[in-house]
Amino acid sequence: MTTQADAGPGARAGSVEWGTLSLIVGCYALWIAVLVWLVPIWGGAGFVALTILIAFHASLTHEVIHGHPFRSQVWNDALMVLPLNLAFPYLRFRDQHLAHHRDEFLTDPYDDPETNYLDPSVWNNLPRWRKAVCRINNTLAGRMVIGPALGQVAFMRDEWRLARSGDRAVWRAWVLHAMGAGAVIGMVWALEVSLWFYGAAAYAAIALLKIRTFLEHRAHLRPRARTVIIEDRGPLAFLFLNNNLHVVHHMHPRVPWHRLPALYRANRDKYLGRNDGYLYRSYAEVFARYFLRAKDPVAHPLWPWR
């Protein structure tokens, strides 16, 4: 089992990761600059820039969750007070993502908060129209177009259930999120940017992130073989802060993003042996194979574990 405490080779030695901190500050600064100057002058370019920056902020949020750039998690959490995508409370994302790192539960329809697989008994009882929607969502194109909406609906449904049961952590996370989201909306409104325009950019940013999460994990009897490697070195790899080398991240979750490629290159055979060769050469290969074709069934093919 991989845990948050596993530093692993290549973990940071200093007290502050200045490179990561600079990216976080720069992301906020560019976000403001785009709202102030680019959107009013050139709306199309502003929309693209906002989409990329909001998605990049989500990747930086992932780094913060795993203990970067400060050693103090209190300071790290403080960096994420502004939820640029408006959709997910930081504290809920943090708690669910760390739960996702219990590798023995990866792809479990109940215990992995980030899985897209359904229990076959649940799948068999769905109406035909919902099955059709789920099948569309299992293509990369569907995951990008309707996936953000479907994911948000499912997430909000589960959050409401927890809130109604009196879960104080959920209430606290959403109160803090409402304050941060209110600040973001207030800044967007004060700068006379359409809230519909900003909301569309936030949706597009989540769609971009769906490219990364689309096939990060597969159903497999051995937990160690459920996590992918995508050997991409292009813009998407940087946008996702090298999280395409996903099995390396799961084995060493405290290793910062900028050290993952060297760690992978030095131990490529070890990582591919660990995940039984679950490998793609690039995101271009992923698009070519699965843009209009499903990679996996909706119902977990190995559930219950055989």
> Is 193 within a domain?
yes
Asked if 173 and 87 count as a contact pair (C-beta separation under 8 A), the reply is no
CA 34-35-38 angle, to 5 degrees, is 50
> Is 254 within a domain?
yes
- The domain of 240 spans 18-290
> Is 302 within a domain?
no
- pLDDT of 16 over the 50 cut: yes
Dihedral, CA of residue 274, residue 279, residue 283 and residue 284, to nearest 10: 170
Structure token digits, residue 189: 């409104």
- Helical residues (DSSP H) of 165-223, grouped into ranges: 168-190, 195-213
> Is 11 within a domain?
no
> Is 6 within a domain?
no
What's the structural domain count of the chain?
1
- pLDDT of 28 over the 60 cut: yes
What pLDDT does 289 receive?
98
pLDDT digits (tens, 9 = 90+) for 202-252: 999 999 999 999 999 999 999 999 999 999 999 999 999 999 999 999 999
pTM value?
0.94
> Is 1 within a domain?
no
What pLDDT does 3 receive?
45
